């Protein structure tokens, strides 16, 4: 039986394990036994600062991958059968590296400056202008570690809030019309497949809904070219996601894209693929990692609604026909992603989306 190791044991690892269970692939996670992957996969504790502990884990599996870019990589470099290449994590781990890499690959980003002191912040604000957004370079997710500066009186507050959280980046605030993400997968033989651009709505910095197809279908080829070059250059294996801001022209047609960030892994904006695509992002990631042929990415019109804080009542939700209910079995907690609901097909969406949004609110 093929065994795949995953560094991390949260919901992304859980969904990868569930996706490949029908293949008879066993998933073993390096993580925390209390995390939500533990009821569908074996979870072992690994000390990421100890090479021996990592080697013990890698000896148990045929291939290994990640559910997060925020892991210690010192003892992972130069190890075999880890996909995507560990060096790619260093790009996604740090917003400054990420932006430099995007710009070096012809992708437009928001203007940005590195910030390491209050003086840097003052200089960066006068250079970039208001509004702007101060972010921690590493470790942020779901809008955490960010401070929006609406005018220059916010400078001190922003510094007081984030000044002690390591390296910072000031970004110009992009006046976008909407956000999309592209999810692609590359196999070891270089084959690449892309899901359709997904349109994402965030509330308070946390992903709320993802919809396919997006209004930016005319940008599909251009964004695939960006990511395709990127994947080939990195000799990437597995799923990658890039988030973009979209600007429209006066007729409402998507015209320009600005790259926001990349994730060298499966992504929340791809959760619709579990029910809306022939092969999900989770299945395709593990197919690529395990050297299997990639699965078809044909799709149906779909909407994913994130459940934040707590899951809606199962009895009430399942009364709506064709609703796909995904609970990660996590303890309810404010602002925590605990599950999602997928709606697939025009009719299901038109009949149930408003009701679901009403139940979840």
Question: Which has the closest alpha carbon to 137: 156, 104, 115, 158?
Answer: 115
Question: x/- contact string, 316-335, with Mg ion (CB under 5 A)?
Answer: --------------------
In angstroms, the Cα distances linking 46 to 5, 57, 62, 266, 352 are: 12, 7, 17, 22, 43
Compare residues 26 and 243 and give the one whose CB is closer to ligand ATP.
243
Question: Which has the closest alpha carbon to 18: 337, 326, 335?
Answer: 326
Q: Which helix (H) or strand (E) holds 227?
A: helix 220-233
For residue 174, state whether it binds ligand ATP (rule: CB under 6 A). Answer: yes
Residue 204, both tokens: 């308070």
Residue with tokens 């002191």: 117
Q: Of 69, 243, 275, 283, which one interacts with ligand ATP (CB under 6 A)?
A: 243
Compare residues 79 and 215 and give the one whose CB is closer to ligand ATP.
215
Strands 42-44 and 26-30: parallel
Query: Which of Mg ion, ligand ATP, none lies near 35, with the C-beta cut-off 5 to 8 A by kind?
Result: none
Q: E strands within 63-214?
A: 63-66, 112-115, 132-136, 146-149, 168-172, 178-186, 192-194, 198-203, 206-212
Q: Of 6, 13, 121, 133, which one interacts with ligand ATP (CB under 6 A)?
A: 133
For residue 205, state whether it binds ligand ATP (rule: CB under 6 A). Answer: yes
CB of 245 to Mg ion, least distance (A): 10
For residue 349, state whether it binds ligand ATP (rule: CB under 6 A). Answer: no
Q: Of 47, 142, 177, 224, which one interacts with ligand ATP (CB under 6 A)?
A: 142
In angstroms, the Cα distances linking 229 to 100, 222, 224, 284, 291 are: 16, 11, 8, 19, 21
Question: x/- contact string, 230-259, with Mg ion (CB under 5 A)?
Answer: -------------x----------------
Name the DSSP letter for residue 285.
H
For residue 260, state whether it binds ligand ATP (rule: CB under 6 A). Answer: yes
- Give the number of residues in contact with Mg ion, rule: CB under 5 A: 2
Q: Of 67, 69, 171, 275, which one interacts with ligand ATP (CB under 6 A)?
A: 171
For residue 199, state whether it binds ligand ATP (rule: CB under 6 A). Answer: no
Which residues on adjacent β-strands are paired with residue 242?
Answer: 182, 262
Query: Which of ligand ATP, Mg ion, none lies near 23, with the C-beta cut-off 5 to 8 A by kind?
Result: none
CB of 112 to ligand ATP, least distance (A): 8
CB of 261 to Mg ion, least distance (A): 5
Compare residues 47 and 261 and give the one whose CB is closer to Mg ion.
261
- Which residues, numbered 95-124, are part of the site for ligand ATP (CB under 6 A)? 110
How many residues make up the chain in this entry?
361
Cα 278 to its chain centre, rounded Å, is 20
Instruction: Calculate the dihedral angle through the C-alpha atoms of 326, 22, 31, 328, rounding to the nearest 10 degrees.
Output: 10
For residue 173, state whether it binds ligand ATP (rule: CB under 6 A). Answer: yes
Which residues on adjacent β-strands are paired with residue 147?
Answer: 134
Compare residues 161 and 261 and give the one whose CB is closer to Mg ion.
261
> Which positions lie near ligand ATP, rule CB under 6 A?
110, 133, 140-144, 171, 173-174, 179, 202, 205, 207, 243, 260-261
> Which positions lie near Mg ion, rule CB under 5 A?
243, 261
């Amino acid at each position: 039986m093929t065994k795949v190791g995953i560094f991390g044991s949260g919901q992304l690892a859980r969904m990868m394990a569930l996706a490949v269970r029908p293949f008879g692939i066993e998933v073993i996670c390096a993580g925390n036994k209390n995390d939500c992957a533990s009821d569908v996969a074996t979870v072992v504790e690994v000390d990421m600062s100890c090479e021996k502990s990592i080697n013990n884990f890698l000896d148990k599996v045929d291939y290994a991958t990640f559910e997060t870019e925020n892991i210690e990589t010192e003892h992972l470099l130069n190890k075999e059968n880890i996909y995507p290449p560990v060096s790619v994590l260093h790009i996604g781990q740090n917003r400054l590296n990420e932006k430099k890499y995007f710009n070096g690959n012809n992708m437009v980003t928001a203007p940005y400056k590195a910030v390491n002191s209050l003086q840097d912040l003052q200089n960066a604000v006068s250079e970039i202008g208001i509004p702007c957004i101060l972010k921690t370079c590493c470790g942020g997710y779901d809008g955490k570690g960010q401070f929006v500066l609406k005018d220059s009186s916010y400078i001190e507050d922003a510094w007081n809030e984030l000044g002690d959280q390591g390296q910072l980046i000031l970004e110009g605030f992009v006046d976008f019309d909407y956000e999309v993400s592209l999810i692609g997968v590359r196999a070891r033989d270089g084959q690449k497949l892309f899901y359709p651009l997904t349109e994402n709505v965030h509330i308070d910095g946390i992903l709320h809904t993802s919809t396919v197809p997006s209004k930016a279908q005319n940008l599909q080829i251009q964004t695939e070219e960006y990511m395709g070059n990127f994947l080939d250059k990195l000799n990437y294996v597995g799923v990658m996601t890039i988030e973009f801001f979209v600007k429209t022209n006066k007729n409402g047609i998507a015209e320009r894209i600005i790259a926001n960030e990349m994730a060298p892994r499966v992504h929340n904006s791809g959760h619709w693929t579990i029910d809306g695509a022939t092969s999900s992002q989770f299945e395709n990631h593990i197919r690529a990692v395990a050297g299997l042929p990639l699965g078809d990415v044909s799709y149906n019109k779909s909407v994913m609604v994130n459940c934040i804080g707590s899951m809606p009542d199962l009895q009430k939700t399942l009364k709506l026909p064709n609703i796909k209910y995904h609970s990660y079995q996590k303890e309810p907690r404010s602002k925590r992603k605990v599950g999602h609901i997928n709606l697939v097909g025009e009719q299901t969406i038109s009949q149930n989306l408003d009701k679901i949004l009403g139940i979840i609110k």
